[in-house]
Amino acid sequence: MSKPRLWITRKLSQNTEIRAQRDYDVVLNPDDTLSTADDIVRMSAEVDAILPCHSEHFDAATVERLDPRVKIIANHSVGVDHCDLDALKKQGICVTNTPDVLSDATAEIAMLLLLGAARRAAEGDSMVRSGRWNTWSPSFMVGTQVTGKRLGIVGMGRVGQVMARRARGFDMQVHYYNRTQLPEALEQGAIFHSSLESLLPVSDFLSLHCPATEQTKGLINSDALMQLPDGAILVNTARGALVDEAALIRAIDSGKLAAAGLDCFVTEPGGNPEFATHENIVMLPHIGSATLETRDAMGFRALDNLDAFFSGGVPTDKLV
């Protein structure tokens, strides 16, 4: 019996590609080039399954053009805002994602950004690298202390819960806003807020961990930022679309926000060039899950979903 033909759209971890080649007739992308909508449509006629990343967009117009041969989109990501799930469901295409496995890595990056923004890491690094460090005094490079401060978490899912545990190591008081309140055992002392409006005024630090949906796009806008305490710090390791970037710049320029730490942007790759002129905005190029361990785990989770599908079962992470 021939193996299902699988297209892996980007270069994945070596262990993932080795396993995929063992079990599937695989089309790899060793040059790691980005595929256009036309590329996706063309390849859909040549394969039974596609294993894409967040960089490939399955919008309604693209999905309508897909060949009937392709039966499953096994995403190498947790977020699926790059997929029009309704359109894919209408075409009878199964869609999966890779939850759980990147929570630790993403929370690590969130804490890195939180600490870096609070302690002016980008500014200090630039000063030393450029040879501009030529003074010191007790008033030099004074930042914001993290220990004992209040952390507001928007979205208390897997990543949010790990972030809360990391924050407790810094004796932070954790508050959170979520669609539903967690059981007491999962809250571990975190304080639930039934509305964003209740959470914002008590958030010395605000960390975003919710998906980007039609309801959450632009969630952190001018009104939301004004409700934060003066000198608050914003951290976003979820999706760039959650934040109104122009409003963020205004809040930074006015001093309403002391700093921000960002791993995701509205425009990716590339980010927002206006941010580059602000040393109190610490930026990373969307690397929240970029560890060797997590990349293997994500790839294997996507392959697990494919294995289940082609064996006649239901993938664990089936979304539609």
Catalytic residues: 239, 268, 286
Q: Which residues of 50-87 are buried (b: 16+ CB within 10 A; e: fewer)?
A: bbbbbbbbbeeebbeebeeebbbbbbbbbbbbbbbbeb
Judge residue 138's burial from the number of C-beta atoms within 10 Å of its C-beta, 0-12 exposed, 13-18 middle, 19 or more buried. Answer: exposed
Contact call for residues 95 and 73 (beta carbons, < 8 A): yes
Which alpha helices (DSSP H) does the chain contain, by range? 14-23, 37-44, 60-64, 85-90, 103-118, 121-129, 158-168, 184-187, 196-199, 222-226, 245-254, 292-310
Q: Sheet of 205-208: strands edge to edge?
A: 191-193, 173-177, 150-154, 205-208, 232-236, 257-262, 281-283
Pairing of strands 257-262, 25-27: unpaired
Strand partners, 281: 260
